[in-house]
């Protein structure tokens, strides 16, 4: 199981690197069906699209929903390099994504266990399974180096 997670997280990391090359925060996401088919993948595009909702997860969910012609993305797994934020976890819950697999935790914005834990909130009528720390070091290093290089330029 872990090997499968690593394979798809490496794809998400590839997307994150694309974002970083465009001066976007390097976060990537991949949505996979239970049969292992990649339904969609993307990366952060908030700056290039001038859209505060253009997080990797949101774009990936939108593309997949269009592909399957349904806003419910049942029996899917979302791979994302950094723990999803509040907005993204809300969309994940609404889309009924079965599982979220992420790389590095986000103590400032994370809503899958770090700052908030939407998956364990019994007030919600749905909650995905959460798997964390897949390719954690590589995911953390990518984003830390991005922000470190931005601080040096400033």
pLDDT at 152: 76
Q: Which residues contact 27 (CB under 8 A, 6 or more apart)?
A: 16, 19, 43, 44, 55, 56, 80, 81, 82, 143
pLDDT at 1: 55
CA count, 13 A, side-chain hemisphere, 152: 6
Catalytic residue chosen out of the listed positions 24, 57, 145, 154: 57
pLDDT at 4: 86
Check if the beta carbon of residue 12 is closer than 8 Å to that of residue 29: yes
Partners of residue 100 on adjacent β-strands: 78, 130
Other CB atoms within a 10 A radius of the CB of residue 11 amount to 17
pLDDT at 114: 95
pLDDT at 153: 66
pLDDT at 25: 97
Q: What stretches in the chain show pLDDT beneath 50?
A: none
Check if the beta carbon of residue 36 is closer than 8 Å to that of residue 4: yes
pTM listed for this prediction: 0.95
**Catalytic site includes residue 83:** no
């Amino acid at each position: 199981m872990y090997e499968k997670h690593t394979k798809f997280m490496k794809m998400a990391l590839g997307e994150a690197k694309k974002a970083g090359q465009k001066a976007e925060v390097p976060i990537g996401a991949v949505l996979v069906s239970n049969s292992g088919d990649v339904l969609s993948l993307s990366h952060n595009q908030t700056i290039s699209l001038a859209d505060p909702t253009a997080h990797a997860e949101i774009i990936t969910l939108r593309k997949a929903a269009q592909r399957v012609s349904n806003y419910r993305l049942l029996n899917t797994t979302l791979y994302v390099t950094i723990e999803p934020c509040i907005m993204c976890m809300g969309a994940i819950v609404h889309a009924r994504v079965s599982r979220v697999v992420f790389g590095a935790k986000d103590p400032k914005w994370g809503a899958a266990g770090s700052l908030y834990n939407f998956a364990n909130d019994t007030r919600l009528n749905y909650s995905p399974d959460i798997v964390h720390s897949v390719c954690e070091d590589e995911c953390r290093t990518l984003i830390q180096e991005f922000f470190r290089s931005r601080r040096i330029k400033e």
